[in-house]
Amino acid sequence: MNKTLNSNLNLTQTAIVFDSAGTLMKMYRVAKDIKTGKLLHDVVSTNIVKSCPECALVAIHIESEIVEKCPGKASLCDFIPEHVDVDVVCMSKDVTNEMVHGILRRNPMVTVNDLQEVLKAIRVKCPRIFYVGLGFAVDANAGIVTHTICTGGKLFSGAQETVHKLADAGADIFIASGDRKPKLLLLSERLKIPSKRIFGTLTPRMKQELVAGLKLKYERVVMVGNDINDYYALEEADIGILTIQQSGVDSERLKNISDEIINDISQVPSVLSRLLGEA
């Protein structure tokens, strides 16, 4: 039955926006608690941000191989300005890049080794992943780095087929993510999505703005997301689809503003077929 519905699906003049981590990809995350030195496996990075009023998640724009080769004793406050830029991608309160660099300077005891530890843990757990991201969390009120974080990911089973099926039905596919664009381009190559439709290092509000802009160009805009950083975009979209395929996602707040909840990314075509058929 689903195959019949999908074959009749017409998505011309439709934009479908996917989040990346936890939506198209199964993610593996390890964080290091700087205060205790403990490694936290399968952590949800947005939960770290929600843990205090002025926390922020910061993405580091760097290849993991550079981090692996750097002397571990080097402080992050020296390493980052010399080698790489950073971007605040999720926050409880407005935190700027300038504030982040100030916090790093006040925390010289946080070192490259703190990044290397979480990166090594991801490599051990997921040796075949193609998608690796690095970052850290700060508490702007306390002026400290609270965690270093590494994320690794691989495509969910059925993700590639789902994207191709939607594109074949006439939809324009977009990716909107807090991850940096060079990493997202690896994903887009596998999914055959044009690079001009890939948007990286987006804050939750920037995702919303992207969806709002697409609504001016398309008859309908669909947002598919999985976490709280997709909240505004899911609310803004004509059709908001919440996927809970990634375990450990706190989705209670998102359920109230989503039009549909799925537990497998491959359900998107049949869900759209049904929703548009009922319209």
CB neighbour list of residue 58: distance below 8 Å, 6 or more residues apart: 86, 87, 88, 89, 100, 135, 136, 137, 138
What is the DSSP secondary-structure string of 181-218? Answer: HHHHHHHHHHHT--GGGEE-S--HHHHHHHHHHHHTTS
Which sign, positive or negative, has the C-alpha torsion 93, 52, 111, 29?
Answer: negative
Q: Is the pLDDT of residue 6 over 60?
A: no
CA torsion 123-127-129-135 (nearest 10°) is: 0
Dmax (CA) for the chain in angstroms is 61
In this structure, what token pair is assigned to residue 45?
């990075």
Whether the pLDDT of residue 255 is over 50: the answer is yes
Contact 147, 39 (CB under 8 A): no
Residue 174 sits in the same domain as residue 101:
no
SS3 220: strand
Residue where a domain stops, chosen among 153, 172, 199:
153
Structural domain of 201: 2-24+156-278
The pLDDT, as a whole number, for residue 1 is 37
- Each residue's pLDDT tens digit, 129-186: 878 889 999 999 999 999 999 989 889 999 999 999 999 999 999 999 988 788 899 9
Q: Are residues 114 and 184 in the same domain?
A: no
Q: Are residues 83 and 180 in the same domain?
A: no
pLDDT tens-digit map of 202-227: 989 999 999 999 999 999 999 999 98
> What's the number of domains the chain is made of?
2
Please indicate, yes or no, whether residues 148 and 167 belong to a single structural domain of this protein.
no
Say if residue 194 is in the same domain as residue 240.
yes
User: What's this model's pTM, rounded to 2 decimal places?
Assistant: 0.76
Residue 246's pLDDT band (cuts 50, 70, 90): confident
User: Which pLDDT belongs to residue 46?
Assistant: 75
Domain shared by 53 and 149, yes or no = yes
174 forms beta bridges with 17
Last residue of a domain, one of 153, 174, 197: 153
Over residues 182-197, the pLDDT tens digits come to 889 999 999 999 999 9
Amino acid at 7: S
Same structural domain for residues 192 and 251? Answer: yes
Q: CB-based contacts of 248: which residues, under 8 Å, 6+ apart?
A: 42, 44
Residue carrying the six token digits 């989040």 = 19
Q: What is the CATH number of the domain that holds 170?
A: 3.40.50.1000
The two structure tokens encoding residue 60: 């580091």
Average pLDDT, the chain: 89
| 202: Cβ contacts below 8 Å, ≥ 6 apart | 89, 176, 177, 178, 210
179-182: list long-range contacts, CB under 8 Å, 24+ apart.
179/20, 179/21, 179/59, 179/89, 179/133, 180/59, 180/61, 180/87, 180/133, 182/61
> Are 134 and 232 found together in one domain?
no
Residue type, 190: R
Of all residues in the chain, the percent with pLDDT exceeding 90 is 63
Number of H-type helices and E-type strands within the chain: 12, 12
Residues 163 and 273 in one domain: yes
Q: Are residues 69 and 131 located together in one domain of the fold?
A: yes
Say yes or no to pLDDT of 53 above 90: no
240 has pLDDT over 70? yes
What is the distance, to the nearest Å, from the Cα of residue 106 to the centroid of all Cα atoms in its chain? 28
CA 172, CA 44: separation in Å to the nearest integer? 30
Integer Cα distance of 233 and 239 in angstroms: 10
- Quick one: 16 and 51 in the same domain? no
Amino acid 249: pLDDT? 60
Helix axes 159-168, 268-278, angle to 10 degrees: 40
Which of 153, 183, 204 terminates a domain? The answer is 153
More confident residue, 14 or 81: 14
Q: Do 53 and 98 sit in the same domain of this protein?
A: yes
